Structure 1
Amino acid sequence: MESAIPIAVRSSSGISVNWGPPKFTINDAFEEVRSKGCRAMLFSPNGDYFAYVIGQNLHILKTSWESIAVLQGTKGYHLTFSPKGTYLCSWEYFTVNNSNPQGSPNLNVYKTENGELVKGFICKKQTNWEPQWSSDEFLCSRLINTDVVFYEDNNFNNIVHRISAPHKVTSYSLSPTSGSYFVVCHTQGNPGQPSFVRLFKYPNFDNHQTLANKSFFQADKVEYYWNSKGTHVLLLAMTEVDKTGGSYYGKQSLHFIGTNGQTSLVSLSKEGPIHSVAWSPKTQEFCVIYGFMPSKTTIFNLKCDPIFEFGTGPRNSIYYNPQGNILLLGGFGNLQGQVELWETNSRKIIGKCEAPDSTHLQWSPDGIHFLTATTAPRLRTGNGYKIWHYSGALIFERPWSKEVELYDVCWQKYPKSVFKESAVSFAKVESIASSQPQASKQVYRPPSARNRPAVSFKLHDDEEPAHKPGGDGTPSKAALKQKKKRENRKARKQEETDDPASPSNGSTSTPVVSNVQVVLTGDPEKDKKIKNIKKKLDAIAKLKEQQSQGKTLEINQLAKIKGEDDLLKELKQLQL
């Protein structure tokens, strides 16, 4: 699609819709809203609808910018659409008064196509207010106190299933699947007792029907990250306070659960907080940024094994483009806004840029451009947004005046099939100069040192470049330890070769091998184990020959010979 993609902008002066690249002009088809009371705006997941709230009116439009409905008396503060955009949910603060001491429903579900009110619920808490649908919208669920209730075929008057006591659910997540549905629930433990996360297949919610269980003591809160197919979920367990005093950020741990019952703790090789977690849209891998600064960034496969290290750097944010062929790593918040863009197939860096003071980043649906914005109330000065090419080139900038605050910026959404994955070019793209003042990069030197030669040093001694685990990059402590062991083994073998008593010294006989024949299975993991067992059996055969020649063996060598039967049994099992 060559046409420009619309960008909706909400500020203290109202709501407007602009064109993205290459136009960068106002979209005249949308009648600009001028009001200081714009509280929320949202595109539907497939981009067919646009909703916004002004004062006490909720407006629903098609993205041809024709008005569908204006719902009056709605003080919506938060909006969400169902996955297909069939329903729009609006949440507002729950209130009571003398004339209505019971209060009115503050979570309302509307039909998007005509604005018809389908159902109203009372939902007093702002946390976990959103209903969760399956991707086919057949199943809808809500958290009511400590129960999860389910509705089928969008019949909100009939609760068909419920997860209730003794589970006492604190939070939950419904898989983004259709046909088969999975639910993962967090149950907060009592003081001194562990918390639990359980995976169920809908509608089997009895204790003996759990597909997987994870328990941990440090889990005041759990965040859920499903892959796009809904077959695996990552659990980020967090505590607000680290009682050991080891971290200001509390304590986090990352766990992996598959709908096939597979569970694992994701082992991270650097101490410190977990800053960001994201699945690749291609579902076969996920990325984690973790550790004290400079943080470490690692790609893991579905076995939770690290398959690529991006090294260390000032990063705390992960953003894959919608097609999954470009990975953006950034450092925002208390960091300086450094951005790196990587091609995910070759693991090569495409470009770098800096977007200081950014509070929001979003990829365009085309996967070629992304925008960064500085918004209020996080930052009330320097508001505005910028549009970048994936090479790191700044191609458009729109600063806001000091009298107007920018609240929200977002691209219009599109179905995944609209924009195909495009080939990544490593060529430089022409960039415009930013009007934002740049911080000086010159190192401060006190007057006493200004006439002396500069001293170069590294701020962090543990900085690592990008590399494959065990590859050509800077090796970890574990890799160095394994390297030392290999060198010691080579030295011992050399000593045996130089030993006159050694059968191989000065002899033309072939190396001793066991009579066991092995058959590889084609499974890389099994074949690796089979080859290791074969090596051990060959070594045992050599020891047995030395023993038959009258050589006195050491205790550990005799123990190896005794373990021959166990190795043969294990080999037989692997080759089944």
Structure 2
Amino acid sequence: MSASIDSAKVPQFFCRQPKSVELIQAEPVFRSLPNFQTPEPTADTRCAQFIAGGKAFLYTLPSGVQVVDTVTGEVLVRIPIEDVFETNISPNGNYVTTWSKLTKDPAAGADAAPAVYLKNVNIINIDLPNRTFQILHSFLNKTQNGWIPQFTADESVVCFYRNPYSLNFFKLAGASTVFDFSKPLYTLDLKEFGKIEDFQLSPGKNPSVAVFIPGQKGNPAYIKVYSLPNVKSPVSQKQFFKGESCTFKWNALGTSILALVSTDVDSTNKSYYGETQLYLLDISGLFDQKIHLPNEGPIHEITWSPTSREFAVIYGYMPAVTTFFDSRGNSIHSLPKAPRNTILYSPHAKYILVAGFGNLPGDIDILDRQNKFSKVVSFQASNTSVCKWSPDGRFILTATTSPRLRVDNSVKIWYFNGSLVYYKAYTELNSVDWRFQPLTDFPPITVSKADKVDCEPDQSAIDYLNKQPKKNAANGGKVGAYRPPHARSSASSSGTGRSLADLHEQRVGGGRSFVPGMSPSASTTNVSDPAGSESKSAQKNRRKRANKKNENDSPVSSPAAPAPAALSTPATAESLVVGGVFSIEEKKIRNLLKKLRAIEALKQKQANNEHLEDTQVLKIQTEDAVRKELESLGWKGDE
């Protein structure tokens, strides 16, 4: 890669596969970096990420960690630590921490009880200009939960815990210093309150730390915020009784923090996903409050604006509500209800992406924050598991990755007006991310004509779009309802499907049924079976019903009259299901409709707070599957 491309400051992203990794230059020319040497195809690449500031790119091999230059592709540093499963980078990219596979200490013997393991977490200082590294500290952590040491924004202090009740803070003075990690600079001891479930150091010039202590054995849960280096008393705190886990999100300035607290079980039995509460705290201690959300249901997403002056929340049962709040927790705008669970601000906070991924269809709305949240465009990126803005705020990356989905793994790049500009498919894709670059590397986005013109798509996007099925202009792109094979040749094959009301009318009409297109009156007439498909017992029952009807209609008992001539007209197989016998598809529909009615009854009990057994709750959760099966059999509508 030539230096001229770097001076143009174009966006760049990586794609990691199980046994390979590649760097790709984005617009205007989508191509792999020519000087980057991909790993050998036999080597597993478990981790890959850009080092902060985009100075270098790091990926792991079974033999160690490689750090390469993002412009020349040249290997800068090789760190010989084997079997690294996870990595983390400090804010300025001067420190790398790794978590390696647990290995028994050979010096202790294979039969030692309890087993003795080698230290598997390493804090490493890397010096890219001099192409050197130094392992500053190593310690043992048997799980991949809570092992990551955290650094202050200026990387002068590192923090981690050696026991679940306290946090240790250590001074980092430089690569040449011999560190003594046995003597922390200061320690935050919270044993009197309980075990520390999670903690998060703030960004910004004035470092703070937020900790979460879950409630146990009748004790309340706590959120406490400390301003470093004062760890004696919190500057802000919140106490509550419902809280088992917590997710912290600081704003970019490190002045306020959102705490999303959740429980696994909803005590009101209204939600399968438990309960969620959102709290807002600041480092000044002026306010700490719960964010009141008017709609019931889980909180799907919380995110801060890059300006640190507002945040957004998606909450409630689907379709969910998206609401924007100022930095003091006051509501400033809400979007209409929609199936959405993802919200992302562009790096310059001009545009906002609101989307529904995961088990939702993948609909994406782009809003203009500087124009009263007006919608710029809507498009769809189905099966998306990764979605990120480019560092210049002009492109959106969406990807389908494994193991979230093991089919159709791919990367798509969209221009912010919804135009697809790049596509690449993979047999298996594990991770993908943009290279970080500051906004100052790119011209600002204005409302000029140039920004409204579609970006020139890459040939890969053109080829991909040409392979997609075309919409039928005659019917507006709508696909007709599915019809079972036995009904496709009937006169009613152009129908749009049967509703639940139609099928109910058939069932109550003397237990007989008719295929679509047949007049309802014909379905109530007893017709002899010329093809001989009616069983003897069915014929006998039919004659009994006819005789009884004649006796009721006549005031004087008389011999049974012969059947009217009209009844002797032969019936075709397409026009009538004879003798009240349903087809296989109709039997399935009838049984599925019974299930739906049972589910509705259980849902009514659940709404009335009546106790339900576990099997009944599981039955309610099968409603979507039952409705999908009904649709596949040609049923449409609601009861």
From 77, 99, 103, the equivalent of 2:107 is 99
| Residues 139-148 or 322-331, more deviating | 139-148
How far residue 212 of structure 1 moved from its aligned partner, in angstroms, is 1.5
Which residue of structure 2 aligns with residue 493 of structure 1? none
Letter in 1 for 2:28: P
SS at match of 2:24: strand
Which residue of structure 1 aligns with residue 387 of structure 2? 361
Q: Say whether 1:285 aligns with 2:310.
A: yes
Counterparts of residues 147-162 of structure 1 (less than 5 Å): 147-154=166-173, 155=179, 157=181, 158-162=183-187
The answer (yes or no) to whether the contact 1:288–1:297 under 8 Å persists in 2 is: yes
Counterparts of residues 434-513 of structure 1 (less than 5 Å): 434=465, 435=467, 442=479, 444=481, 451=495
Change (3 A) 1:259 1:78: same
Letter in 2 for 1:294: P
Which residue of structure 2 aligns with residue 513 of structure 1? none
Change (3 A) 1:4 1:205: closer
Which residue of structure 2 aligns with residue 174 of structure 1? 201
Q: Say whether 1:137 aligns with 2:174.
A: no
Structure 2 gap ranges (5+) = 1-6, 109-114, 174-178, 472-476, 500-639
How far residue 24 of structure 1 moved from its aligned partner, in angstroms, is 1.0
SS at match of 2:370: coil
SS at match of 2:52: coil
Distance in 1 (alpha carbons) for counterparts of 2:200 and 2:18: 34
Change (3 A) 1:142 1:28: same
Change (3 A) 1:160 1:255: same
Which residue of structure 1 aligns with residue 275 of structure 2? 251
How far residue 449 of structure 1 moved from its aligned partner, in angstroms, is 10
Q: Say whether 1:84 aligns with 2:95.
A: no
SS at match of 2:432: strand
The answer (yes or no) to whether the contact 2:45–2:60 under 8 Å persists in 1 is: yes
Counterparts of residues 195-234 of structure 1 (less than 5 Å): 195-206=221-232, 209-234=233-258
From 312, 316, 331, the equivalent of 2:341 is 316
Which residue of structure 2 aligns with residue 299 of structure 1? 324
SS at match of 1:253: strand
User: Whose helix proportion is higher, 1 or 2?
Assistant: 2
Which residue of structure 1 aligns with residue 396 of structure 2? 370
How far residue 63 of structure 1 moved from its aligned partner, in angstroms, is 2.0
Distance in 1 (alpha carbons) for counterparts of 2:496 and 2:122: 70
Structure 2-normalised TM-score? Answer: 0.67
Which residue of structure 1 aligns with residue 30 of structure 2? 24
Structure 1 gap ranges (5+) = 456-576
> Which protein has the larger Cα radius of gyration, Structure 1 or Structure 2?
2
Counterparts of residues 187-202 of structure 1 (less than 5 Å): 187-202=213-228
CA RMSD of aligned residues (A): 2.4
The answer (yes or no) to whether the contact 2:363–2:379 under 8 Å persists in 1 is: yes
Q: Say whether 1:42 aligns with 2:80.
A: no
Distance in 1 (alpha carbons) for counterparts of 2:204 and 2:84: 29
| Residues 438-447 or 417-426, more deviating | 438-447
Distance in 2 (alpha carbons) for counterparts of 1:438 and 1:203: 63
Change (3 A) 1:182 1:24: same
Q: Say whether 1:109 aligns with 2:128.
A: no
Distance in 2 (alpha carbons) for counterparts of 1:52 and 1:195: 39
How far residue 231 of structure 1 moved from its aligned partner, in angstroms, is 0.5
Letter in 2 for 1:290: Y
Which residue of structure 1 aligns with residue 293 of structure 2? 268
Letter in 1 for 2:334: E
Q: Say whether 1:126 aligns with 2:126.
A: no
Residues 531-573 of structure 1 deviation map (CA, whole Å, 9 limit, x = unaligned): xxxxxxxxxxxxxxxxxxxxxxxxxxxxxxxxxxxxxxxxxxx
The answer (yes or no) to whether the contact 2:18–2:46 under 8 Å persists in 1 is: no
The answer (yes or no) to whether the contact 1:172–1:186 under 8 Å persists in 2 is: yes
| Residues 180-189 or 327-336, more deviating | 180-189
| Residues 288-297 or 211-220, more deviating | 211-220
Distance in 2 (alpha carbons) for counterparts of 1:176 and 1:449: 64
How far residue 406 of structure 1 moved from its aligned partner, in angstroms, is 1.1
Number of positions where the alignment pairs a residue of Structure 1 with one of Structure 2: 449
Counterparts of residues 323-342 of structure 1 (less than 5 Å): 323-342=348-367
Distance in 2 (alpha carbons) for counterparts of 1:252 and 1:97: 43
Distance in 2 (alpha carbons) for counterparts of 1:24 and 1:240: 45
Structure 1-normalised TM-score? Answer: 0.74
